[in-house]
Structure formats: C-alpha cells, structure tokens
Amino acid sequence: MAQIVGFALLNLALIVGLAPLAEGISRRVLAIVHSRKGPPLIQPYLDILKLLGKEDLQTTKNFVWKIAPALCLGATLTAALFIPFGTPAPLSGSGDVIAFLYLIILSSVAVMLNGFACANPYAYLGSSREMMMIFSIEPILTIALVTAALKTQSLRFADIIASNEATGITVSMTIAGIAVLLALQAQAGKIPFDIAEADQEIMEGPLIERSGPGLALFRLASWVRFIIFASILFQVFFSWCLFGNWGIRLLLNLVGIAVILLIVSLINAVNPRLRIDQSMSYFARVVVFVAFGGLIFAAIGV
C-alpha cells in the first residue's frame, strides 16, 4: 500500500509539475516559428498562480457550474493514475482501459457542461462544438485501445505494455498508434482543431465566463491531458522502445513526450484552423482508414 501511495504521489507530481512546462515549450516554439521573442518558459506556472489568487466570479448559481472545474481536473488526474509514466501505474490493479476512457470522457463532459450551465450564447456554441469533438475524437482513442486489448487479450495497461515489449513491433499496434497520433492534435486542443475555443470566433468558447481558480483548474486539466495522451502513445503503442528499470523508463518517457510535443507545437504553429465540416471529415477518415485498420489486423493476430 505504501508503495502504491508513493508511486501515485510521484506520478501526480511529475504530471502536474511538467504539464505547464510543456505548455511553455509549446508557446516558445510558436513564437520562434512566428519570429517573435515569446513568453518565458515559466509563464504557464505564473498564469496558474495568478489565476488561483484572483476572485472566482460567479455568473450563475447553477450547481453544475460550481463543480465543473474540480470535476474536470479530478477526473483527469484520476485517469492519470491508471497509466504508467515510466513508473508503474499506481491504480493498474484497480481499473483498466474502460475505467480510463470513462474518466477521460468525463473530463471533457465537465468542460461541455460548464458552458451549458451559464447563460452566455458563446459558451453554448463552444459547448456544442466540444460535444461534436467528443463524438469525433474519442472513438479514435477507444478503437485504438480496444485494438491493444484485443492484441494482448487484456484490458489492463500493465499487461498490454508487458505483452508489447515481449512481441516487439506489430502491424496492428503500429497502425493504432498512428491513429492516436493523428488525433493527438485535437486532444491537446491545438490548431487546426481548437474548434471549441476558437479565440478569434467565439472568444474561449465554453470557458468564456470563467475566471480565477475555476479557469486555472480547467487550464491545468487541459495541459495534463496532453501529458497523459503523449504517455499513452509512447508507453502503450510504442512500448517496444522501453527497457531497463523504472528510472530509465521514466527518462525514455520524458524524451518521447518531448518529441511528441515538438511535433504538435510545429503543427500548431504552421496551420490555420479548420472548419467544423473539414474536421469531421478528417476524423471520419482516421476512424475508417486507420483506427479500424489496426483493429482488423489485431483481429487476425498481426
């Protein structure tokens, strides 16, 4: 029990501590590509601290509005405990892929409900877009994880990773990993898929009425989600890269996250935002031609 608690605290400290740094690096990459000086790397940490110290203005007395930030961050951090972060997953024996997907979708639903709970029309529009993104993106991750479970005959992340390490590179897991990578830009809420926020169109979307600590929790949850999905991509679908004890695995995971962050940041810097219909068409093609392709190969055992 003490070891589980220790790994849980270590995982949360690493993920919460590194998430703002990843956002800071992404902002610097954007500034470099756009030939600007850009903010310091620690700016996201300063933003969170500043927001936590501000007054949390209440634009409605709706109970859902009050609990949405804590629900979003709580579900995200709990989901983080189901996956390894170089260190063993603290809750690997208490949940599986299904529990992880439930918590990740719950965090997205909390953002959506936050927008519906206030009376701002821009928030309604942003939440509607968030709902469309959930229906478009989450099937890709779900199919990819089902592919991994089918290939390894287990729903537990620890078993999936151990099996993939033993078997090495496989067609089904590689294709499933590519599907997750193609959807990662949208999972991170980056251009060209930042449709729910769309700063120039609907001014922050579901979070338009948020300020202070509530906004800080939503922002932190968004940054943590990227670390979670980058870790899943590297640890689950490309686990043949892993070796050594948990300290070496942790270092390799950080390197993998850094590479994925650089790819996402560059795409964010050089692309315009897509229209909703363009995004839906893109995700439909990813589901049909990539995600289902990996599932078919897993079903035939390759």
Reference 237, options 144, 156, 302; nearest CA is 144
Cα 236 versus chain centre, distance: 14
d(CA 206, CA 218): 10
191: burial class by Cβ within 10 Å (0-12, 13-18, 19+)? buried
Collapsed DSSP state (helix, strand, coil) of residue 291: helix
| Predicted pLDDT at 13 | 87
**Cα radius of gyration (the chain):** 19
Q: Which residues pair with 85 in a beta bridge?
A: 87
CB 172 within 8 A of CB 295: yes
Determine the Cα–Cα distance for residues 188 and 209; give it in Å rounded to an integer.
Answer: 21
As a whole number of angstroms, the distance between CA 48 and CA 252 comes to 28
pLDDT at 8: 78
Question: b/e for 100-133, b at 16 or more Cβ within 10 A?
Answer: bbebbbbbbbbbbbbbbbbebebbbbbbbbbbbb
Distances from the Cα of 271 to the Cαs of 105, 187, 243, 284, in angstroms? 27, 16, 36, 20
At residue 3, the pLDDT reads 67
Q: Rounded to whole angstroms, how far apart are CA atoms 139 and 291?
A: 9
pLDDT score at 203: 64
* Residue 274 DSSP SS3: coil
Q: Is the dihedral of CA 266, 271, 276, 277 positive or negative?
A: negative
> Which of 148, 135, 138 has the alpha carbon at shortest distance from 175?
148
- Please list, in sequence order, all residues whose beta carbon lies within 8 angstroms of the beta carbon of residue 157, skipping any fewer than 6 positions away: 82, 83, 84, 89, 92, 96, 97, 100, 235, 236
Q: How high is the pLDDT of residue 95?
A: 65
Of the candidates 107, 131, 136, the one whose C-alpha atom is nearest the C-alpha of residue 221 is 107
Domain of 39, in residue numbers: 2-299
Whole-model pTM: value is 0.91
Return the pLDDT at 104. Answer: 92
SS (H, E, C) 189-207: CCCCCCCCCCHHHHCCHHH
Number of domains in the chain: 1
Please state the three-class secondary structure of 84-139 as a single string.
CECECCCCCCCCCHHHHHHHHHHHHHHHHHHHHCCCCHHHHHHHHHHHHHHHHHHH
Q: What is the pLDDT of residue 234?
A: 87
From first to last of the 302 residues of the chain, give the pLDDT tens digit.
666 677 778 888 889 999 999 999 999 999 999 888 888 999 999 999 999 998 887 877 888 888 999 999 999 999 998 888 777 777 766 668 898 999 999 999 999 898 888 878 888 888 888 888 888 888 999 999 999 999 888 888 888 888 888 887 889 999 999 999 999 888 888 888 877 676 666 566 788 888 889 999 999 999 999 999 999 998 888 887 777 777 788 888 889 899 999 999 999 888 888 888 888 899 999 998 899 999 999 988 87
CB count within 10 Å of CB 178 equals 18
Alpha-carbon distance of 79 to 81, in angstroms, equals: 5
